[in-house]
């Protein structure tokens, strides 16, 4: 992935985060799960595309670092799927492993 492509995907991550935050502030009753899922998919795309690159774009780090904690502070009732996905994104980004083991299970599980 070239630097310009990486920057473009990082900008998309930042834009999806802003869209999610706007939906979060607009919707006082229903949690904006659809916007969060779009954001999470974009982050996963960034992680996959930059897997072999030792550097991570600053915009992406700012958004993903502490994601689970920042979501917990924002509202009282957050869907469990959102918190699980936030934790998964943090692990994928910083620990480079998927805590859900989809397809990586040991034989017999």
For 6-59, write each residue's pLDDT tens digit.
Answer: 889 999 999 999 999 999 888 777 889 999 999 999 999 998 888 888 788 888
Domain membership of residue 103 (yes or no) is no
Domain membership of residue 36 (yes or no) is yes
The span from the CA of 43 to the CA of 47, in Å, is 6
Domain membership of residue 107 (yes or no) is no
Domain membership of residue 108 (yes or no) is no
Domain membership of residue 105 (yes or no) is no
Q: Domain range holding 53? A: 3-95
Number of other CB atoms surrounding residue 102 within 10 Å: 8
Report pLDDT for 21.
92
For 85-98, write each residue's pLDDT tens digit.
Answer: 999 899 888 876 66
């Amino acid at each position: 992935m070239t630097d310009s492509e990486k920057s473009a995907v990082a900008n998309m991550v930042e834009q999806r985060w802003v869209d999610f935050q706007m939906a979060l502030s607009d919707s006082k009753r229903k949690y904006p799960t659809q916007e969060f899922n779009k954001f999470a998919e974009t982050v996963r795309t960034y992680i996959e595309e930059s897997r072999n690159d030792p550097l991570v774009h600053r915009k992406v780090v700012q958004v993903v670092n502490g994601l689970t904690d920042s979501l917990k502070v924002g509202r009282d009732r957050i869907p469990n799927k959102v918190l699980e996905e936030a934790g998964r994104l943090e692990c994928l980004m910083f620990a480079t492993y998927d805590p859900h083991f989809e397809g990586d299970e040991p034989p017999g599980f």
